[in-house]
Amino acid sequence: MNFVIYLIVGGIAGWLASLLMRRDASMGLVLNVVTGIVGGFLGGWFLPKLGIGLGDGWLGFLATAFIGAAVLLLIINLITRGRAR
């Protein structure tokens, strides 16, 4: 059951990050979910090292995954386009 919740929250976070970074047109549902989940792992690993805690529960996971996904998309933009949007 938790796996399904992680997929849903990760998909929402990936979709929101792709809207923020203006990559939504080039990404589909599957890539949004993957971006959100990878962003969740990235944010979950990196934010505590900076001393940033966003709380427990699904809202904390959503915020962490959103920040991680946005950073991931920024890195992808820098690599693929040579500049951040």
pLDDT in tens, 5-50: 777 888 888 888 888 887 766 667 788 788 888 888 888 888 888 8
By CB neighbour count within 10 A (0-12 exposed, 13-18 middle, 19+ buried), where does 44 fall?
middle
What was the pLDDT predicted at 24? 67
pTM, whole model, 2 decimals?
Answer: 0.78
Collapsing DSSP states into helix, strand and coil, what is residue 23? coil
